[in-house]
Amino acid sequence: MTTSARAVIVLAVLCTAIAGCARTAAPPEHGRRAASGPVAAGAPTRPLHAPANYDPNVAGAVACSALILEGTVVRVVDAAPGRMRTTIDVSNWVKPATGPRRTVVDTADIATDGAHRRWHAGQHLRLAVDVDPSVLPNWEFTAAQFARYGQAMADAARIDCPYGR
């Protein structure tokens, strides 16, 4: 076996071990039993740095959102480098529960890496802005997915976001 083949095998073993460590089960809470080994594919996991009551479901996403709203884009302009400022006529405030009819939201620029186009005036937008200002906002929700964010507000209030609130 060549040295490069051994290196590839070692790397594969390390990656598998690291992935297994990262996929440990959340601690038993809210009536869930603790898992005894790796978590089944698709099962929720808890980041190692997360508080004990972190839950990576919709309520966890809501807990880690600074702003959740629905509305129509009025305009999008450049802000600081790597950022954009979007003016939105809000039709539905989720988090916080209320706010102004028109608001300006500063987010990471979704078009920075060229993978997405900026929103355009008149576009209907369901938006969740993370508490971490460097994270791209979430905006590709169906109406049903967005409704689940609103329904998860009470559960989200009992969850600590692992990186801020």
pLDDT score for 163: 75
The per-residue pLDDT for range 92-127, each reduced to its tens digit, is 999 999 999 999 999 999 999 888 999 999 999 999
| pTM recorded for the entire structure | 0.67
- Domains delineated in the chain: 3-45 (no CATH), 59-156 (2.40.50.120)
On whether the CB atoms of residues 86 and 80 are closer than 8 A, the answer is no
Q: Which residue has the tokens 């980041």?
A: 47
Is residue 61 classed exposed, middle or buried when 0-12, 13-18 and 19+ CB atoms within 10 A define those classes? buried
pLDDT score for 50: 52
What's the mean pLDDT when you consider all of the chain?
75
Q: Which residue has the tokens 């972190």?
A: 54
Does residue 162 carry a pLDDT above 70? yes
The per-residue pLDDT for range 66-102, each reduced to its tens digit, is 999 999 999 999 999 999 999 999 999 999 999 999 9
